[in-house]
Structure 1
Amino acid sequence: MTRTHVLTGAASGIGLRLAQRLSERGDRLVLLVRTPERASEVAASLGARHSVHVVDLSAPAEVERAARRLAAELEAVDSLVHCAGAVALAPVEALALADWQRQLDVNLTTPALLTQALLPGLRAARGTVVFVNSTSGLAASPGWSAYAASKFGLRALADALRAEEAEHGVRVTTVYPSRTATPMQAQVHVQEGRAYDPADWMQPETVAGTICHVLDLPADAVIPEVTLRTAPRPPVR
């Protein structure tokens, strides 16, 4: 039976690789991306049977309107996977309000709004909500206060939702990847002033594969949390 998955962040990185895997096996995708250009690229890459929506995830009012439209269109939602993210590093003393607000909106408020709107469809399908968090949602580092705060909040959202929706059969999983070779990671290295080599980090395929495993669990089990870290590299000889 074809399943329906709603994904954010499907234009690149973990979200794109997950969308490709789900599309390849015949599932139906409802994808939220930021710009019309990326929407066209994603639609051309994945095929016409999927629907791609342009939504600015940093604009809560726009997200709320889009979420209501999706909820009206989708009777059953097998999974809602929150892959989108935003990051801007700065010490607390130099943190700009716009950077603080954008990270909270994209990383926390948008997942809350989308989840709230799509709960009827998730309940109808006894579906799964996956929050792609970060190891920054487990421990905060210097310069990462806004990002970590948004991810700590996302962890709280997931924990509360898991308890609230158990009676409706909705499963909730938080995935905590450490640094992963994505465009966001390249951006972080620029902000840190460091050279970037994707080979140094965990690959998006690894995280996407883990999410697929979560989505494919038999109905009698749930993985509440899973943490993924880049494996140690053997020393150069």
Structure 2
Amino acid sequence: MDLGLSGRTAIVCASSHGLGRACATELARAGCRIVMNGRDREALEAAAAAIRAETGATVEAVAGDIGDDGVQSELIAAAGTPDILVNNNGGPPPRGFRDLDADAIHAGLDANMVTPIRLVQQVIDGMVERRFGRIVCITSASVKAVTLGLDLSSGARIGLHGFLAGVAREVASANVTINFLLPGLFATRRLDGVMAFAAKSQGVDAETAAARGRERIPARRFGEPAEFGAACAFLCSAQAGYITGQSLLIDGGGYPGVL
């Protein structure tokens, strides 16, 4: 399928590894110019070079913490007139809620709620003026299904959903959409931390915890980042203009609810 994205410009946050990189790769494959971001300059440049080689796309890299105002400004300046924003940021490490002090709570809220909102504020009016915009926020399956140890991550991301749900309806008539991707357990670096926390909580080794995790997923496996990237690219496509304010759960059937 031609996604109708050739010549579009996409900002993809936290994209040197994992799900962010997969989204950047698929958007590049669809014909977008990509502006990537990551804290580790060396890893980011390596990812950008790999995507250029694989897709032939123009890829620019802006290193730094996406929560910093200067990095945000540099990212948006590099994009010029962004048509697509993929909001992504690493979640706080899994830990019990009793272990969270005020500083940790505020840091989690800033990274996973405040920062993506600030980025939306900076790009959305231009999208409205140009009558095309796609904003995809990567959050977590824990928004729908309780995951022990991810209380701070879940709380911040639920807040992001609530804040942007109304914004999505406000700009829908301008062909600007805002949607959410909710990943379950994917084969990324983040999974290692989740499995380490699970192993400690269960009193088992990491391999056993991982095996138990797979068994709880109806698909009996962890997700592959490329699958996630493809879903992101579709939500950014010209054909997805009638989908907005929605949360797409990608978890191999792990969530047991009907809705």
- Fold-level similarity (TM above 0.5): yes
What SS does structure 1 have at the residue aligned with 2:180?
strand
1:229 equivalenced with 2:251 (yes/no) = yes
CA distance in 2, matches of 1:159, 1:221: 15
Normalization by structure 2: what TM-score? 0.78
Alignment of 1:87-166 (within 5 A): 87-123=92-128, 124-166=130-172
CA distance in 2, matches of 1:3, 1:220: 15
Structure 1 residues 211 and 179: CA distance shift in structure 2, 3 A: same
CA distance in 1, matches of 2:131, 2:117: 19
1:51 equivalenced with 2:60 (yes/no) = yes
Aligned-residue sequence identity (percent) comes to: 21
User: Does the 8 Å contact 1:13/1:204 carry over to 2?
Assistant: yes
Instruction: Identify which range, 17-26 or 111-120, moves more after superposition.
Output: 17-26
Query: In the TM superposition, what whole-angstrom CA distance separates every residue of 1:101-133 from its partner, at most 9, and x where no partner exists?
Result: 332222112111111111233222511100111
User: Does the 8 Å contact 2:176/2:241 carry over to 1?
Assistant: no
Structure 1 residues 11 and 127: CA distance shift in structure 2, 3 A: same
What residue identity is the alignment partner of 1:94? D
CA distance in 2, matches of 1:25, 1:168: 23
CA distance in 2, matches of 1:182, 1:40: 19
What residue identity is the alignment partner of 1:230? G
What SS does structure 2 have at the residue aligned with 1:26?
coil
Structure 1 residues 230 and 220: CA distance shift in structure 2, 3 A: closer
CA distance in 2, matches of 1:37, 1:122: 31
User: Does the 8 Å contact 1:67/1:113 carry over to 2?
Assistant: no
Counterpart for residue 177 of structure 1: 183
Residue 14 of structure 1 and its aligned partner are, at CA, apart by: 1.1
5+ unaligned residues in a row in structure 2: which ranges?
1-5, 200-205, 215-219, 255-259
Instruction: Identify which range, 205-214 or 132-141, moves more after superposition.
Output: 132-141
What SS does structure 2 have at the residue aligned with 1:131?
strand
Residue 24 of structure 1 and its aligned partner are, at CA, apart by: 2.9
CA distance in 1, matches of 2:48, 2:10: 15
5+ unaligned residues in a row in structure 1: which ranges?
233-237
CA distance in 1, matches of 2:42, 2:14: 14
Residue 67 of structure 1 and its aligned partner are, at CA, apart by: 2.6
Q: Runs (4+) of structure 1 moved beyond 6 Å?
A: none
Q: Calculate the aligned-residue CA RMSD, in Å.
A: 2.4
Counterpart for residue 235 of structure 1: none
Instruction: Identify which range, 137-146 or 127-136, moves more after superposition.
Output: 137-146
Counterpart for residue 205 of structure 1: 226
What SS does structure 1 have at the residue aligned with 2:239?
coil
CA distance in 2, matches of 1:36, 1:103: 23
Residue 73 of structure 1 and its aligned partner are, at CA, apart by: 5.0
User: Does the 8 Å contact 1:78/1:122 carry over to 2?
Assistant: yes
CA distance in 1, matches of 2:140, 2:150: 12
Structure 1 residues 168 and 24: CA distance shift in structure 2, 3 A: closer
